[in-house]
Amino acid sequence: MKTSRYDTLAAAKNWKPESNGTPAKMQITKIFGENALTLDDLKDRLPKDDWKGLKKTITEGAPLDIKVADSAAIAMKEWASERGATHYTHWFQPLTGATAEKHDSFITPNKGGGAVAEFSGKDLIQGEPDASSFPSGGLRPTFEARGYTAWDPTSPVFLIENDNGIYLCIPTAFASWKGEALDHKTPLLRSMDALDKQARRALKLFDVDTNRVFSTVGAEQEYFLVDQEFYYRRPDLMATGRTLVGAKPPRGQEMDDHYFGSISDRVLSYMLEVERELYRLGIPVKTRHNEVAPNQFELAPLFENANVSADHQQMIMSTLKKIAKKYGFECLLHEKPFDGLNGSGKHLNWSMSTSKGMNLLEPGDTPHDNMQFLFFFTATLRAVFKHQDLLRVSIASAGNDHRLGANEAPPAIISAYIGEQLEDIINQLLSGGLKDSMRSGLLGLGTPVLPELPKHAGDRNRTSPFAFTGNKFEFRAVASSQSVSFPTVVLNTIVCEAIDELCTELEGKLDSADFETALKEVLVDSLKETRTIVFNGDGYSQEWQDEAAKRGLLNLRTTPDALPYLTSKKNIDLFGKYRVLNELEVESRYEIWAEQYVTTLTIEVDTTEAIAKTMVYPAAVRYLNELADAVKKTADLGLKNSGATQMLERINSALNELGDSLANLEDVQSKLKADSTEEHCFEYKNEVIPAMNRVRDAVDLLERYSPDDYWPLPVYREMLFVK
């Protein structure tokens, strides 16, 4: 066992891709969407009327006809069978945050002893997975374990390929037999309906008629890659997705040389294959680059309708993980795989668009005279102001607690960055007139050979959790491993409410004032109240913490602090009013997420203990023994042995501390006594986490002193710098 870490290192270093020596040529337009059945494909395969019916459902949210479902089922089965698929699955998103599927074969035996492929509208529309093992937060006691999956016609079906077979995935919603949402998709679709209704009501006031308003989402995904050789030697990475012990390497991200650096061949091969697979699934991935920390990367798709984008985001995460193994990597989506290095997030870009593609948050060149934009912009700020708590809840998890407020990600305080130009416009509006928009002009680079670049009206601010970036808001505090659905549900619902309130006020004034005057009054009233949510400065600074406290903004630092807000009366009323989640559904989510927090930490504690006791302790004792021998022998020989003695004392005291910290951790756990979920979370936060961190500190100290060849775990410098 002694030298095996070096074998691991050698194997990782020597990894070679299979290559035939010529670059693979990819024709994106040819392969794009070949593994997804798009609306265009369906048009060719459906009778005209059925296609029209389906299109109405997809683009306008019209109810689905069973006759249409039947002919869609036939078209899907044919399309999938032509491509070699044998099975289908209702693919859904339970509240674990992962995706789930149960496969059924198309094959039905016939009387003649043969078999035929069958798939009906009924099979397409509804499935009944054995649902008792998915979290329901008390919504569905196991004695009534029925759960149903229901086809979501607004998200394209797609194929998953394996070397030995292919199957058809049908995006579905997942609900209890009473119709309560047990998943992420159902409330997302409901929130999109609610937003659509209010946004169209507002647009009517601006004389814009549209069939449908969608929220749009584009989520940038950060991730780490580590060589599998290392991964499988780290029980912590395997069990929890993050390193629970590990001393900081002498060189981390200080040199800033990884960010946007050139991408290594092995990583690039991996990214290219990921992208090819995503293109084939019809997912429009666009950007790839290195991120700030070593071995950290980012991938970003183009934005799409929020529901499709949320499905695609799940497919992106699973594709990243799946393909990594082919390149000898493990893809880590955890928010904080390595202590002392930047963690990973997901930037959720969000806006609203009409079905014809009019972006409601597009300010144009002169936002001061774009009243429609100012209306939706004001509504969004109002929403963020009124529901800071919900936005914070929507991103709360044990993993994300490591990032938020740690000077690498936005603080736990929710505020909005809007840039100089819009700040100026708000000031003009509040002081009685809208005269002009600050122009940004052209950026000269000081030499005529370089072109002049148009300057953006607002600079970037990486420290804001919610930043206006030109024509959309970017919610930057979202966690890298989470589904984008719930944060999107929250955005849709709170902005829906704000639009509703502004419309009501505006409509009430229209009898006595002209539209423009009434509108300005409404916007001014709202901004007066809500502009304290705007903050354009440095979100990482202590001044902001102080300032935010003065402004009375919430600062919910951790998951146990944030989660209880989910079930406040304000929030239950909000979700109830717009029929996004009923009270039971809200409460069950609280239970599930609080339980997930505790479970995550329990696994972390158990794994930390196991590593400390079975890997670190033995290595340190072996070394202690050797040192004790050396001290004794040198003394016998009458040699000066202060070096060996000092090291012996150090190792001995570090080992004592390891023993004490482990005893303390056990003690803390044995004394946990909370009987409510909320108290239980706080016990973990206030008592268990510090006790676990104390064990980590003891282990990390031993790592610094122990002989390299005794150390049983791959260390940070190996995991982070081998690519």
Q: Which is nearer to ligand ADP, 329 or 376 (CB)?
A: 376
Give, as ranges, the residues between 214 and 273 that touch Mg ion (CB under 5 A): none
The amino acid at residue 602 is T
Footprint on residues 214-253 left by ligand ADP (CB under 6 A): 216-218, 220
- Give whichever of 199 and 226 is closer to ligand ADP, judged by the CB atom: 199
Terminal Cα distance for the chain, rounded: 24
Does residue 346 touch Mg ion according to CB under 5 A? no
Phi, psi of 8 (to 5 degrees): -60, -45
Could you tell me the smallest distance in angstroms from the CB atom of residue 469 to Mg ion?
7
> Which residue is at the shortest CB distance from Mg ion?
347
- Which partner from the list ligand ADP, Mg ion, none does 471 bind, CB cut-off 5 to 8 Å by kind? ligand ADP
Per CB under 6 A, the list member of 230, 350, 486, 575 interacting with ligand ADP is 350
**C-beta of 233 vs 258, nearer to ligand ADP:** 258
The reply on whether position 472 binds ligand ADP by CB under 6 A is yes
Q: Are 566 and 585 in contact (CB under 8 A)?
A: no
> b/e for 8-37, b at 16 or more Cβ within 10 A?
bbeebeeeeeeeeeeeeeeeeeeebbebbb
Q: Which does 218 bind (CB under 5 to 8 A by kind): ligand ADP, Mg ion, none?
A: ligand ADP
* CB-nearer residue toward Mg ion: 258 or 347: 347
Residue pair 566/489 in contact by the 8 Å Cβ criterion: no
Which of Mg ion, ligand ADP, none does residue 422 bind to, with CB < 5 to 8 Å depending on kind?
A: none
User: Is residue 347 within the footprint of Mg ion (CB under 5 A)?
Assistant: yes
DSSP string, 610-629: HHIIIIIHHHHHHHHHHHHH
Other beta carbons within 10 angstroms of residue 550's beta carbon come to 8
Q: Contacts by 639-648 with C-beta closer than 8 Å and gap 24+?
A: 647/705, 648/624
Q: Specify whether the CB–CB gap between 332 and 241 falls below 8 A.
A: yes
Q: Which does 535 bind (CB under 5 to 8 A by kind): ligand ADP, Mg ion, none?
A: none
- Secondary structure of 111-148 as H, E, C letters: CCCCEEECCCHHHHHEECCECCCCCCCCCCCHHHCEEE
217 binds, among ligand ADP, Mg ion, none (CB under 5 to 8 A by kind): ligand ADP
Q: If you ran DSSP here, which 8-state letter would residue 686 be given? A: I
| Count of residues that bind Mg ion according to CB under 5 A | 1
| Two tokens, residue 163 | 């070397």
Of all residues in this chain, which one has the CB nearest to ligand ADP in the complex? 218
Residue 301 interacting entry, from Mg ion, ligand ADP, none, C-beta within 5 to 8 Å by type: ligand ADP
Nearer to ligand ADP by Cβ, of 203 and 655: the residue is 203
* 346 bridge partner residues: 221, 478
Q: Which of ligand ADP, Mg ion, none lies near 300, with the C-beta cut-off 5 to 8 A by kind? A: ligand ADP
Strands 85-92, 165-176: pairing is parallel
Residue 695 interaction partner, one of Mg ion, ligand ADP, none, beta carbon < 5-8 Å per kind: none
Q: Which of 81, 318, 359, 664 binds ligand ADP (CB under 6 A)?
A: 359
Torsion 573-574-575-580 (CA) sign: positive
Could you tell which of ligand ADP, Mg ion, none binds residue 359, using a CB distance below 5 to 8 A set by kind?
ligand ADP
State the helix-helix crossing angle for 419-430 and 371-386, rounded to 10 degrees: 100
User: Per CB under 6 A, which region of 313-321, 465-473, 541-549, 708-716 contacts ligand ADP?
Assistant: 465-473
CB of 359 to ligand ADP, least distance (A): 5
Site for ligand ADP in 160-219 (CB under 6 A): 216-218
Q: Which two tokens stand for residue 668?
A: 């803390």
Quick one: what does residue 298 bind among Mg ion, ligand ADP, none, with the CB cut-off 5 to 8 Å set by partner type? none
User: What is the distance between the alpha carbons of residues 601 and 397, in angstroms, rounded to a whole number?
Assistant: 11
Interface characters, 285-304, with ligand ADP (x: CB under 6 A): ---------------xxxx-
Q: Count residues near ligand ADP (CB under 6 A).
A: 15
Q: What is the DSSP letter of 713?
A: S
Rounded to the nearest angstrom, the gap between the alpha carbon of residue 149 and the centroid of all alpha carbons in its chain is 23
Which of the choices Mg ion, ligand ADP, none does residue 665 contact, using the CB cut-off of 5 to 8 A by kind?
A: none
* Nearer to ligand ADP (CB atom), residue 254 or residue 256: 256
Least distance in Å: CB of 218 to ligand ADP? 3
| Complex with ligand ADP: residue 77 or 476, whichever CB lies closer | 476
Tokens (6 digits) for 573: 């009323």
**Cβ neighbours, 10 Å, residue 442:** 11
The bridge status of strand 296-301 relative to strand 285-290 is antiparallel
Q: Which window, 343-351, 415-423, 558-566, 698-706, contacts Mg ion (CB under 5 A)?
A: 343-351
Residues 6+ apart with CB under 8 A from 125: 64, 66, 69, 150, 151
Residues that bind ligand ADP (CB under 6 A): 216-218, 220, 300-303, 349-351, 359, 469, 471-472
Q: Which residues bind Mg ion (CB under 5 A)?
A: 347
